[in-house]
Structure 1
Amino acid sequence: MNPYVPDALPLTNLDLGRLLPKIGPANAALARYDGLLQSVVNPAVMLSPLTQREAVLSSKIEGTQATVDEVLEFEAGMDFDAEKTKDIQEVVNYRKTLTLAAAVLDEEPLSLGLIRQMHSVLMDSVRGANKAPGEFRREQNWIGGAGSTMEQASFVPPSPLQLLDHLQAWEAYVAGADVDVLLQCAVAHAQFELIHPFKDGNGRIGRLLIPLFLFQKRALGSPMFYLSDYLEGHREVYYARLQAISREGDWTGWIGFFLDAVAQQALANTERVRAMMALYEDMKRRIAELTRSQHAIAVLDALFDRPIFQSGDFVQRSGIPKQSALPFLRSLREAGILQVLRESSGRRSAVLAFRELLNCAEGRKVL
């Protein structure tokens, strides 16, 4: 099989007649979701569980087996076996990568330099750490079953000799404009995946680029729109649609799938954010009544930012003096708002969980 040669961008052979009926609803759904985000006072804190969820689901598409509660328990100092710890670390790195990139995009545009920086963080000290983190590949790779040769591969990405040319063309396309921002986002994501510029981690970087691209294009006020929930739930179609581009040149089919994903995920995200906002307001009232303190909001924000935590860590993150913070936690435990996952022992702090937030963010009973 010969290496794939990416199509020139912008594309000129799209069936816009098939896509226009999907473009309007997808943009409208995303705009409604973004409008809701704009009403959130501190989205980075209040919606932190959504970022955790995205990191878990995007990593799951690549075969990582870790749950949101396991990641939070690990960060709170609880122990897991070696294999599970590796899975969890990949999820933690994904979240770090998103946070880093969002901060950079406040100051400068999306670029190949930023993508290399993202890859370096994503692959730091995890599986694939020996596969040139932060460096575009210099050799031919291919995708296929275990032990398959290049001739048996299901897909052979572009030759490394032309890789930089394809990436620079991609970068120029992302910096420019197309007929619609969501159509352009769909093309940018798929083209990046097909170029496959790294030896490992391409799928996760490609999915990270979706909210970052929409944030850069001001389709989102903050890079907090995540598609991995939908893509993981439709994994076979996701891969089949990408494969149909390289095999049949079917960009229209891929873009249609992507627009459907945006429309449905925006609706699901909107419902989940509304539920979390309602929980925040309810807890604001309950915690104020329980603590009778000026620190009630600081307590609540610390719980939303990290819903599984060590009591000692809570004191540091909330900024509340220890002599006040620990009685607050005791009151929340007695009221049933916090549950104990591990009691304190000697110098080891207790691990507590804000179960209601985890269940709300996941849309199911987690703990």
Structure 2
Amino acid sequence: MTIRPYVPEPLPPSGIDWETHIPRIASANRALARYDGILQAIPNPGLLLSPLLTQEAVLSSRIEGTQASLEDVLRFEANPKEPVGDASLADIREIINYREALNAAVDALKAGRLDTGLVCDLHRVLLAGSRGMDREPGCIRTIQNFIGRDAHIEHAIFVPPAPADLPGALADWEAYLHREEKDVLVQLSVLKAQFELIHPFCDGNGRVGRMLVPLIMYEKGLIGSPMFYISAYLERNRPVYYERLLAISGDGDWNGWIGFFLHAIEEQAGANGRKAKAILDLYDEMKRTVPEVTRSQYATAAIDALFKTPVFSSAEFYDQAAIPRRAAERVLQQLREHGIIAVLAEGGGRRAATYVFPRLIAITEGDRL
């Protein structure tokens, strides 16, 4: 039996039980406000939280089946010429694209607003030069796609809307995006789910849907910097994540999804806040320690380089920190002697050594701070 294509209902959904959601709406908004307070206290969030963005890209891509870790990505970026297997390289390319797409969208939001055109641009960057590059990057699909266990549509778990219904569904989605709603987090939860159910692209819909979370939060003024990392919760609760989305298309159960997503925001606001605070504390500690151990006029530049790229080659460190080579070699030696950085791979011949700033990696990857 073939499942009929899903027909999205106009937004907002008619069956939202606002009263039931009030406690969770309140706690999710409080948690997000606390997180935004921590964000506002960070002097340069784009620099200090850049490893968290890469980790978000790792986890969001892992939901779609990639296996590469944060360290794999950072090691590759430190030494792109090091040999990597084809499968690992494809994973790493997708993760780097994810980060670049989100950064490009953030830049675009400074001059314009979030709309379907910007979402298509984001999708184009996401799929560029990756496994999905033959899946019409940046183009709304013109074919019927489906989600299933095999290549037969009759075995599909979910069949998204027919191509002819996409323009209307996306226009309605965009209109709701720009509407006022009683609560923005409920609006966000509806927008995210509806986007993934519309499934407007041939590939990459889940990743784009997860990128929309910080972008919508930022555009709606919920956070002062577009840095919110939702994928750790969704990756950890993947079966329920998919179950709740399917319950919307199958049973019209928007309330189950909204409750799940509000809880995800509350949990991740707490986890993101703990990580951001731990990174800020580490940065403050390094501002005291590194000048002491290096006695170098370049201590601040060295610290910023460590936080921007916590896995790096010596050559990359010279470039990032913009320190004369001899002075940079001395700084690296002193950081190594005092256990601030560790060697991942010794240099040899023309190959530069690869170093790691282990405490920052531990904070970034730790889900239980």
For Structure 1 versus Structure 2, the TM-score category normalised by the shorter chain is: over 0.9
Alpha-carbon displacement from aligned partner over 1:248-282 (angstroms, at most 9, x marks no partner)? 00111100100011111111111111111111111
1:106 and 2:110 equivalent? yes
In structure 2, which of residues 19, 24, 44 is the aligned counterpart of residue 22 of structure 1? Answer: 24
Q: How far apart, in 1, do the equivalents of 2:320 and 2:148 lie? A: 46
In structure 1, which of residues 2, 8, 21 is the aligned counterpart of residue 10 of structure 2? Answer: 8
The Cα of 1:11 is off from its aligned counterpart by: 2.1
Q: How far apart, in 2, do the equivalents of 1:231 and 1:79 lie? A: 32
SS in 1 for 2:312: strand
Structure 2 residue aligned with 1:93: 97
Contact 2:346 2:352 (C-alpha < 8 Å) held by counterparts: yes
In structure 1, which of residues 146, 156, 164 is the aligned counterpart of residue 167 of structure 2? Answer: 164
134-143 or 335-344, which moves further after superposition? 335-344
1:360 and 2:324 equivalent? no
162-171 or 28-37, which moves further after superposition? 162-171
Structure 2 residue aligned with 1:63: 65
The Cα of 1:147 is off from its aligned counterpart by: 2.4
Q: How far apart, in 2, do the equivalents of 1:333 and 1:205 lie? A: 40
SS in 2 for 1:154: strand
Within-5 A mapping of 1:111-150: 111-149=115-153
Q: Which amino acid is 2:101 matched to?
A: T
Structure 1 residue aligned with 2:200: 197
Q: How far apart, in 2, do the equivalents of 1:177 and 1:238 lie? A: 26
Q: How far apart, in 1, do the equivalents of 2:242 and 2:49 lie? A: 29
The Cα of 1:97 is off from its aligned counterpart by: 0.8
1:246 and 2:256 equivalent? no
The Cα of 1:339 is off from its aligned counterpart by: 1.1
Alpha-carbon displacement from aligned partner over 1:127-150 (angstroms, at most 9, x marks no partner)? 12111011110011111111222x
The Cα of 1:224 is off from its aligned counterpart by: 0.8
Q: Which amino acid is 1:53 matched to?
A: Q
Aligned-residue CA RMSD (Å): 1.3
SS in 2 for 1:340: strand
Q: Which amino acid is 1:229 matched to?
A: A
Q: How far apart, in 1, do the equivalents of 2:43 and 2:300 lie? A: 12
The Cα of 1:364 is off from its aligned counterpart by: 7.4
1:350 and 2:362 equivalent? no
Structure 2 residue aligned with 1:262: 265
In structure 2, do the counterparts of structure 1 residues 194 and 307 end up closer, same or farther at CA, with 3 Å as the change threshold? Answer: same
Contact 2:271 2:367 (C-alpha < 8 Å) held by counterparts: no
1:31 and 2:41 equivalent? no
Q: How far apart, in 1, do the equivalents of 2:106 and 2:329 lie? A: 33
Q: How far apart, in 1, do the equivalents of 2:123 and 2:367 lie? A: 32
1:175 and 2:178 equivalent? yes
Within-5 A mapping of 1:273-292: 273-292=276-295
Structure 2 residue aligned with 1:42: 44
State the aligned residue count.
Answer: 364
Per the normalisation by structure 1, the TM-score is: 0.97
Q: Which amino acid is 1:13 matched to?
A: G
Structure 2 residue aligned with 1:152: 155
1-10 or 206-215, which moves further after superposition? 1-10
Q: Which amino acid is 2:233 matched to?
A: Y
Q: How far apart, in 1, do the equivalents of 2:50 and 2:144 lie? A: 38
The Cα of 1:15 is off from its aligned counterpart by: 0.9
Q: Which amino acid is 2:85 matched to?
A: D
SS in 1 for 2:297: coil
Structure 2 residue aligned with 1:235: 238
SS in 1 for 2:148: coil
Give the percent of matched residue pairs that are identical in Structure 1 and Structure 2: 49
In structure 2, which of residues 68, 82, 88 is the aligned counterpart of residue 84 of structure 1? Answer: 88
In structure 2, which of residues 184, 189, 198 is the aligned counterpart of residue 186 of structure 1? Answer: 189
SS in 2 for 1:352: strand
Q: How far apart, in 1, do the equivalents of 2:277 and 2:83 lie? A: 34
Q: How far apart, in 2, do the equivalents of 1:67 and 1:336 lie? A: 23
Alpha-carbon displacement from aligned partner over 1:25-69 (angstroms, at most 9, x marks no partner)? 000000000000000000011111111110000000001101000
Structure 2 residue aligned with 1:72: 74
The Cα of 1:227 is off from its aligned counterpart by: 0.7
Q: How far apart, in 2, do the equivalents of 1:364 and 1:357 lie? A: 13
Q: Which amino acid is 1:2 matched to?
A: R
The Cα of 1:312 is off from its aligned counterpart by: 0.9
The Cα of 1:79 is off from its aligned counterpart by: 2.7
Structure 2 residue aligned with 1:210: 213
In structure 1, which of residues 312, 315, 322 is the aligned counterpart of residue 315 of structure 2? Answer: 312
Q: Which amino acid is 1:119 matched to?
A: H
